[in-house]
């Protein structure tokens, strides 16, 4: 399965510039699923959740543009929002209540078995976005959720689809955690759909960590904030790894004594890609973005970005003293 994954940049590049698109950004709900900022499963108390969907079509808007009426050449953003929220209902109630509802439905012969439980009845962020993908497209983006016969979207008319689920409170020192799944639909419905390019990524947004970094004498005397975002592309783990990942990044930043962001970024990439942290996922691509808000007085911040991992040469850096 890992060989079918590419980066989100590659998927978007192959899909090309859309001739017509419909999007919904930051649709808000709550979530009795995934882990919180401390790595605890949110099965008793919910956490806020934001959902974004981006749909690119193969053809320009025809009926909708010519007759000012919605047709098969588009998707109503209101109905798209309702479909997303309806699918997410299974994760917006405590797990105990959902099990009671499932038992009642099962007793009537109308149970919905498209969502298969984890062994511990706790759903991860990856599982949530994966199940949402199934509800909208009718088939599994990755994992083992059962495919459905009547999805919300007509995949035959769609060229590109991207879903992002964001947990704004799932980071201790950052602006949240998100997972994004995207696909370029080169082929139509059926088995050949699995030949289409797909991407999945996990991102921690804007970690604010006091860090000793800089080449100037005054920067060696005290720590300054470095705002760091880490995006792991080609990500296909089904567990909640982001709390552990944040710990790895924060520890490396707090222990830094580098003079340049370039060297610090290379060090961060090495730490994230160590086998102990990434387990057997040797095909990750890591994108690290670092900002120093106080470094340049007349600018918002200087920014340095580093990419490493699968498909990228190992970044060189000076040895630590």
pLDDT of residue 112: 42
The residue-averaged pLDDT of 2-9 equals 74
pLDDT of residue 213: 93
Most trustworthy range by pLDDT among 36-50, 146-160, 278-292: 36-50
Q: Which CATH number fits domain 2-100+115-309: 1.10.10.10, 3.30.365.10, 3.30.1130.10, 3.40.1790.10?
A: 3.30.1130.10
The residue-averaged pLDDT of 248-277 equals 90
Measured distance CA(179)–CA(173) in Å, rounded? 18
Most trustworthy range by pLDDT among 3-12, 96-105, 138-147: 3-12
The pLDDT-based confidence of 185 (bands split at 50, 70, 90) is confident
Contact 267, 258 (CB under 8 A): yes
| For residue 136, pLDDT beyond 50 | yes
The pLDDT-based confidence of 131 (bands split at 50, 70, 90) is very high
Helix then strand then coil, in percent of the chain rounded to 5, is 30, 25, 45
Which residues on adjacent β-strands are paired with residue 207? 228
- At residue 82, φ and ψ (nearest 5 deg) are -65, -40
The residue-averaged pLDDT of 242-248 equals 94
Radius of gyration of the chain measured on its C-alpha atoms: 22
pLDDT of residue 180: 97
DSSP for 31-84, please give it: ES-SB-TTS-B-SSS-EEEEEEEEEEESS---HHHHHSS--TTS--HHHHHHHH
Q: How far is CA 40 from CA 1, 115, 122, 249, in A?
A: 29, 22, 10, 19
Q: What are 203-233's pLDDT values in tens digits?
A: 999 999 999 999 999 989 999 999 999 999 9
| For residue 166, pLDDT beyond 70 | yes
| For residue 286, pLDDT beyond 60 | yes
């Amino acid at each position: 399965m890992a060989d079918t994954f590419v980066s989100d940049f590659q998927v978007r590049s192959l899909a090309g510039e859309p001739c017509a698109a419909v999007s919904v950004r930051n649709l808000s709900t709550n979530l009795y699923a995934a882990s919180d900022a401390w790595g605890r499963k949110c099965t008793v108390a919910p956490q806020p959740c934001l959902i974004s969907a981006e749909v690119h079509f193969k053809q320009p808007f025809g009926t909708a543009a010519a007759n000012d009426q919605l047709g098969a050449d588009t998707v109503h953003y209101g109905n798209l929002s309702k479909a997303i929220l309806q699918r997410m209902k299974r994760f917006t109630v405590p797990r105990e209540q959902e099990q009671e509802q499932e038992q009642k439905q099962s007793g009537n012969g109308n149970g919905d078995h498209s969502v298969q439980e984890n062994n511990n009845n706790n759903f991860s962020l990856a599982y949530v976005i994966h199940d949402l993908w199934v509800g909208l497209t009718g088939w599994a983006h990755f994992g083992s959720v059962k495919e459905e016969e009547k999805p919300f979207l007509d995949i035959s008319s769609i060229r590109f689809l991207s879903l992002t689920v964001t947990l704004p409170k799932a980071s201790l020192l950052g602006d949240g955690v998100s997972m994004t799944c995207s696909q370029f639909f080169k082929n139509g419905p059926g088995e050949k759909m699995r030949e289409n390019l797909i991407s999945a990524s996990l991102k921690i947004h804007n970690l604010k960590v006091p860090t000793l970094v800089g080449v100037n004498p005054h920067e060696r005397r005290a720590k300054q904030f470095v705002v760091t975002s880490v995006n792991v592309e080609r990500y296909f783990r089904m567990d909640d790894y982001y709390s552990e990942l944040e710990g790895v990044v924060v520890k490396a930043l707090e222990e830094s004594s580098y003079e340049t962001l370039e060297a610090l970024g290379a060090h961060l990439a090495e730490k994230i890609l160590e086998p102990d942290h990434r387990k057997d996922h040797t095909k990750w691509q890591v994108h690290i973005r670092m900002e120093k808000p106080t470094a340049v007085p007349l600018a918002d911040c200087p920014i340095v970005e580093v990419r490493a991992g699968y498909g990228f040469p190992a970044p060189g850096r000076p040895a630590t003293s």
